[in-house]
A and B are shown apart, each in its own frame.
Chain A
Amino acid sequence: MRVEAGQVHGFLGPNGSGKTTTLRTLLGLIRPDGGRMAILGHEVPGTLDQVAPQVGAIVESPQFFPHFTARDTLSLLAGAGDLPQQRVDEVLELVGLRDRSGERVKTYSLGMKQRLAVASALLKNPRLLILDEPANGLDPGGIREMRTLMRNLAASGMTVVLSSHILGEIQLICDSVTIISLGRRVAFGPVDEVLAQHSSGAVRVRLEAVTDLPAAATALTRAGVRVTTNEDHLMLAGVDKPATVTRLLAEQGLYVSELAPIAVDLESVFLELTATAPVPGQHRQVDQSVRVDGTAPSAPAGGGWGA
């Protein structure tokens, strides 16, 4: 897994695939039994204490001492990190808890606790922000605010690693993703590339005259394209360059009114890669996802280690 500086990186995987374990290990909460990790150029866990002041993180569900107020909670963390108390007000404002900061955490909703967790991670003004399910419990407005916040933070030069199951959000926010299954990487790279690599190359074709569809299907099949004929359009598979379809049909005197590559979304890619798509009549168990055998990564070459 490699995260480029200044990017928002999505870290995805089914339940139990090892996302939180990976993040905990990276942050020194779990002892690794092998491998290498580095944050901001520092190998961890050996030099974690040097890099920790530059890393803000929330891991799994937000947990705080319930009888302290949000302000007390952040103030104590700021004290432990030798940060000015003024920073507490700044992050409370940033996550929208300014007016409720004097209330005890036990009275907070899950979404408010999540905001407090994000505030605690932002308190250090970190260079790397690691957020495990930050949108968990947030209302729609909160999710949108979180999305904007992530973008703004990335724009300011902060690197953000985001673990989430809200794949639509990940697709909107992230520059790159890593997808894991049962502790192994199954895909990695910029979001567009991952989507492109796992798109089926399907293209929808409509013609000016519906009556020309059978002739078009014959011509395309003869050219080696897999064709599915529908009532008012053709679905083509295995098309590398959609322009070849236009040229081939024009040569036959058949004119295209619509040529649309079928886009895949991150959710469908995720379900395909991890083999976790629901199957009618079956109850998938937590560890039933794709298994990558051996240690060789299945993702494109060029991946390294470190963030």
Chain B
Amino acid sequence: MKLKVSKEKILNSLQKVQSVVSSRTTIPILSNVLIKAEKDRIHFTATDLDVSVIAGCEAQVTKPGATTLPARRIFSIFKELPGPDIELEVDDKNQASIRSGSSFFKLVGASEDEFPPLPKLDAAKTYSLDQGTFREMVRCTCYAASHDESRPMLNGVLLSFKDAKLAVVATDGRRMALFEQEVEFPKGSEGDLILPFKTVEELNATLQSAGQLKILTTPKQIAFEFDDIIIMSKLVEGTFPNFRQVIPAQAEESIALERETLLTALRRVSLVSGDNSTSAKLAFSKNKLEITVTAPNVGEASETLPIKFTGRAITIAFNPDFLMDPLRTLTSDEISLELTDDMNPGVVKCNVPFLYVIMPMRVS
């Protein structure tokens, strides 16, 4: 294998695969990146066996071939090379020679055959979406996913393709975030997919705000193709709970609130939260919202916000973090909070097709 490539391009591609290269793995080959050169492109592949990322860039390939090299080491070497171009040559023994300006490096690699083969996505269903939209849907929901390993199907984000709509849902049994958009896909491609949390993080880090996104799935695997990147991942097995049944049919009061104001007030009062069981008490009365946090052994804090509200007075307690999560990720100026009483769930809505159901806390 022999090629010449611009330093900027190769660094950009390598950067995208770094995050799945594990620093402490029991399988040494996984700390290497697979480099494949063909025609006028090179591809870098890194995997931790759960998630794989493939990133490509243009290169002048004089001799095609493939090898694996230690991922972190070549990234730091390429970063320091004087540039602007890098020449890479790999011999039959997987020994790489790197030349750039006055620098010369010789690195020991490992054979391509040792690298785990990537899953094949034959007979896959395909969906086509806008990258920015999908990124926003995932970003606005993923925080609600559960981290409790005893319920693996909640340890991720649900993509539910149904009735010409895509619903992205995450829940931990206490709150649920749902983002629903109309998308086009073939009639026979309806189905539910649960993305593992790790893949969601990878997507959050690499998806761009514009461009095409292609999703390919088989019952156990999923691949996201966009720009010069492919992210492949296992799917979580199991059935996601019926998320539609926890959405309250209707609420008695719908209160319009300024998102930023509510968020900063909550952020301030939760500075006194003593531990993860702190609750924020929201008391709605005529044109006034009072938020109070009392933490034993720490102290208490309260905020009073002017609001537009003329309904029945309601007092309800929420986990302040649960309430802040959607406020942080949404971008609209105003949200609405729908409440019935202190025992029934609250619902956060806004001007985008987003919905957040949150169960109140009770104090015995």
A and B associate in one complex: no
Q: Which residues of B contact A (CB under 8 A)?
A: none
Q: Which residues of A contact B (CB under 8 A)?
A: none
